[in-house]
Structure 1
């Protein structure tokens, strides 16, 4: 059984070495090694290039390095009928919730206001409202969204979630389907995006939707947090909303083009908090442990967990 690493922007050699130790009875190769495409049974992939699936006629399972699989499922040469497995791990989930909680609390506690007043050497003892008065809305209630929602709820926020279908998560108010989307937005002060990227969610963070968020409660206006995919956001609309007051602030970890071009207006906005796609990472140790257990299970019983619905895109 040969296992191929196809990892753009990641050290294939480091991953291959770790997998070879964990799977001594398998041959683990990188794209730089000598191998025949026909011998590849498993593929570990991140940001697949145009030729990622060329010649892999005997491929049995595709493993994603990341929780997001949009770059895989939309690949024009994705072999049909080959199962795709997403990365689901407690470490990644914890890191994402850390990011979401940090940014939600930052906006709740009026970081932009105090940053501006500090620059002016202004002492104004404005006291932010308690968490229980703030409505947080999370778009996407998969593994990451569910965990973030539960942690924010534990901190006292009024948390609601919106997803394609009902999830039945205790302790939060749920909205599902397009018919409930506007109602969900209208009760939201801080909007968090943890959606999978699909044609339906492309550019969902746009001026039309920002204008539907609750106003008059959070000082300065509503805020957004996007740690999902850059394809979810219309960046021109975000710039206009941040400049014009439709949004008070934004935390963005992902962008249409990465690295974010130096020409982007987002860099210069003091109410835009930019991080370089670091909210959560699929760590080497966790990734090897997860995929190794999946391969062992597959070879013993044919079972795989965390399968992607390729037609839905997640």
Structure 2
């Protein structure tokens, strides 16, 4: 809350420092603040969009302008530095500037009683599914090979598999993964979806658990990873799962870098068992300059851009969630720490 301090002369002649809370007369409520923290995102643009979308009694601050820490009730952040979240005694919500929230858990001092909320936004889902479709179609139509042929002045025709006979496996069929699956199904592919617990998606062959994973993988010419990063999904793309795929299969990862055991994927690429990899996320970001992915002829890389957060669209969903919180209603995207999503 915003406060103004002033001195008061008491009847006994002593002075006392006191304060008053600033009230927004239009709302009749105490002013509060939302702090924006990200070293990668356009802070000024976010500030303008948030201030336009939020209730008028909430002021947006951009780190390092903390102001009075007691005013800060909401923090919207990407990879908050250790100790930052613990600086605000009246913090009510931690708003993740992403579809996931594992980056928030890296802060060992975060107040564990404060709920974490993920971004839930149709624009984000659309962007990620577009990226996945682009990657799948590129591999399906041999675009990486044609680019290589062009560089080497080679004129060579290549014929894709018949689309209805091509099986694509989507690992992770939550909001984003199911959107990916349906878009691929709409293009005529045979689509499989895998999740840790049983799910049903119309027109999608669904599999669950470890047995279901190894039932699905041998059928798939391509897999797309859209999973949350949890203790159970970390390293899921490893020597064992790669070996279960058919010879020449392709992999797209738009989930988290931690899903892939880099050494195992590189070995499978070098052996020819895996035909190519389209990677948007990595175990270490930015990717070190000496990493083997940079120069690998079968790897296409992008710098974690599959699902960029669009400030205008997401600011509205963030504001709507804050208003739900104030009314005591269930929140969209509330994080389940134990389950990891």
Global fold match (TM > 0.5): yes
Q: Counterpart in 2 of 1:51?
A: 83
Q: Counterpart in 1 of 2:42?
A: 11
Aligned equivalent of 1:198, options 216, 221, 230: 230
Q: How does 1:258-277 map to 2 (within 5 A)?
A: 258-277=285-304
CA contact (8 A) 1:73 1:313 kept: no
- Superimposed CA distance per residue, residues 189-225 of structure 1 (whole angstroms, 9 cap, x where no aligned partner): 101100001111112122221111123xxxxx10100
Q: Counterpart in 2 of 1:93?
A: 125
Aligned equivalent of 1:21, options 26, 47, 52: 52
C-alpha displacement at 1:141, in angstroms?
0.7
C-alpha displacement at 1:20, in angstroms?
2.1
Aligned equivalent of 2:114, options 67, 82, 85: 82
Q: 1:271 to 1:303 in 2, by over 3 A?
A: same
- Superimposed CA distance per residue, residues 108-142 of structure 1 (whole angstroms, 9 cap, x where no aligned partner): 11223333433443333332122111110011111
C-alpha displacement at 1:236, in angstroms?
2.1
CA contact (8 A) 2:83 2:110 kept: no
Q: Secondary structure at the match of 1:211?
A: helix
C-alpha displacement at 1:74, in angstroms?
4.5
CA distance in 1, matches of 2:73, 2:329: 14
Q: CA RMSD in A?
A: 1.7
Moved segments of 4+, more than 4 Å: none
Q: Counterpart in 2 of 1:218?
A: none
CA distance in 1, matches of 2:34, 2:146: 52
CA contact (8 A) 1:8 1:48 kept: no
Q: Secondary structure at the match of 1:248?
A: strand
Task: Confirm or deny that 1:122 pairs with 2:162.
Answer: no
Task: Confirm or deny that 1:239 pairs with 2:270.
Answer: no
Aligned equivalent of 1:184, options 216, 222, 232: 216
Relative to total residues, which structure has the larger strand share, 1 or 2?
2
The alignment covers a number of residue pairs equal to 309
Q: Counterpart in 2 of 1:158?
A: 190
| Long gaps (5+) in structure 2 | 1-31
CA contact (8 A) 2:256 2:282 kept: yes
* Higher relative contact order, structure no. (Cα contacts within 8 Å, ≥ 6 residues apart): 1
Q: Secondary structure at the match of 1:2?
A: strand
| Long gaps (5+) in structure 1 | 216-220
CA contact (8 A) 1:6 1:52 kept: no
